[in-house]
Structure 1
Amino acid sequence: MSGPVFLRGDGVTLCPADQSDLEFLCEHENDPRVRSSRAVITPTSADQVTARLGGTMGQNEESVGLLVRAGDERVGFVYLVREESNAVEFRFAELAYWIAHEHWNEGYATAAVAAMVEYGFDELGLHRLKAVTFVDNDASQRVLEKVGFEREGVAREEAFVGGEWRDCVDYGLLEDEWRDSE
C-alpha cells in the first residue's frame, strides 16, 4: 500500500506511489470527469503511470509526483514538474494535481497543494511555482488562490480538448510572497 509518508498536510499525507497504486491511478486519471479538468486527450496507460512510481519522474528525475492519501484511502495525485528548459537552473516548477471525483470538495486538493508548495520552496529551493487551469475550472482556481497563487493572465484558446479550444488561466507564486503570507 503505497510508499512511506513523504510529506504531511492538513488531513492528507503525500507518499511515493508504488505498484499497488497502479489500478487507482489508471482508473482515476482516465475518469472522464477528472480528465475534463486537465489537458489530457489520450488515455493514460499503465506504462505511463508506472513511469511515475517511486516519487520522482520525468526525463531528468527533477520532477516529483506523489500520491495523495486521506487516512488509508487514496484520493489523488500531486506533481511538481521541472521538465521545461532551464526549469532546474531558474529554480521553477509547474504545480499540477488531480483528485478522484468522489473526493471533490473535501479540501484534499488544497491540503495537498499547500504541502507541495512548502516542500518546493523549503526543500527544493524553488524561487517560483506556476500552475495552469482551464478558465471554467473555478474549483481549481479557488485551490490555487487559497494557497497564495496570483492570477497572471489568460492564454486564449491554448488547449484543444474535447473538440473545442479552451482558454487557460496562468497562475504564479513567488517564494517571498509565500513566505510573507505564512
Structure 2
Amino acid sequence: MPGHVFLEGERIEFRVVENAETDRRVLGYVRNEPGFRQALGFDTPWPSNRTESFIESVTNDESSCNLLVCLRDDGGSNGADDWNETDRGSIVGAVSLFDIDRVSGTLSYWLLPDYRGEGYATEAVSVLCNYAVRELGLHRIQADVFDENDASRRLLERLGFVHEGTKRECRVCGGEYRGVDQYAILDEEWNREEKS
C-alpha cells in the first residue's frame, strides 16, 4: 500500500510517494513500458536504482508535491495485464505539482489505461488545483501537453485552463520531434469556476 493519505476526493485519495516496493514497481512500470513511457516523453530506460533515486529526490523536494492517485475502495481492475492487484495496491495514477514557487507551479498527471475515461483524471486534477490555490496560495498553475494528446487537452480546457501557446517540435520522444501545448489557469479563474 502506498504512503499515508494526503488529500481526498470523492472517489479517490492521494497518497504520498514512498520508497516502498509497490511505489517503486508502479513508477518503474510507467517509465519503462513502451506505450506509457513514450506518451509521457521518457526515452531512456529506468533501472530500479534510477527509480529509487527519483523517489528519493521527490520525497526530499520541498518545491514539489508528488502524489499517487488511489481508489478509495480499491475496486476495479489492475490497469495492466502483467500486474496483479497485490503488486499494485490501489494505485491508479499520479498527479504532481512541481517547480512550486510563491507564484506558480507546474501540473502533471497520468492514469493507468484501465482507469481512463471514468472521470478519475478530472477529479485528481481538480483536487490538486484546489489544494494549490486554496492551501498553497498559488496564483498560477501551468501544464504542458504533447500536441497529439487530445484527451489531456480536453481535460484542461474543461477545467478552465487557457491555451497560451505551442512550442513546435521542442521535444524528441520515440525518435520523433513533438510539439508541446502550454496551458495555464490563474487563481481568480479557478475560483470563478467554483471547483469543489
User: What is residue 97 of structure 2 aligned with on the other side?
Assistant: 80
Aligned-partner Cα distance in 1 for 2:192–2:32: 38
Distance 1:29 1:172 in 2: 25
Alpha-carbon offset, residue 158 of structure 1: 1.1
Aligned-partner Cα distance in 1 for 2:2–2:54: 12
Aligned length: 176
Task: Letter of the 2:58 partner, please give it.
Answer: M
1:110/1:92 CA distance change after superposition, 3 Å:
same
Paired position in structure 2 for 1:134: 146
Q: Which moved more, 1:102-111 or 1:156-165?
A: 102-111
> Is the contact between residue 97 and residue 108 of structure 2 (CA under 8 Å) also seen in structure 1?
yes
Partners in 2 of 1:51 and 1:147 — Cα distance?
Answer: 33
TM-score under structure 1 length normalisation:
0.87
**Other-structure match for 2:17:** 17
1:30/1:39 CA distance change after superposition, 3 Å: same
CA distance in 1, matches of 2:70, 2:125: 13
Unpaired runs of 5+ in structure 1? Answer: none
Which residue, out of 31, 36, 39, partners 2:38? 36
Amino acid paired to 1:63: S
Give a deviation string over 1:22-69, Cα, whole Å, max 9, x none: 112211232222222222212234344334548x82774211100000
CA distance in 1, matches of 2:95, 2:54: 11
Sequence identity (%): 36
Q: TM-score, normalised by structure 2?
A: 0.82
Return the index of the structure with the highest Cα Rg. Answer: 2
Give the letter for the 2:95 counterpart: V
Sort the Cα spacing of 1:179 and 1:52 in 2 relative to 1 into closer, same or farther, 3 A: farther
1:5–1:13 Cα contact (<8 Å) kept: yes
Partner of 1:7: 7
SS at match of 1:111: helix
Instruction: Name the structure where helix makes up a greater proportion of residues.
Output: 2
**Contact in 1 for aligned 2:17/2:59 (Cα 8 Å):** no
TM-superposed CA distance for 1:179, in Å, is 0.5
Pick which of 1-10 and 129-138 moved more.
1-10
| Structure 2 letter corresponding to 1:77 | A
Task: Name the CA shift for 1:129/1:40 in 2 (closer, same or farther; >3 Å).
Answer: same
The alignment partner of 1:140 has SS state of: helix
Q: Provide the rounded CA distance (Å) in 2 between the counterparts of 1:59 and 1:132.
A: 24
Are the equivalent residues in 2 in contact too, given 1:38–1:133 (CA < 8 A)?
no
Partner of 1:96: 108
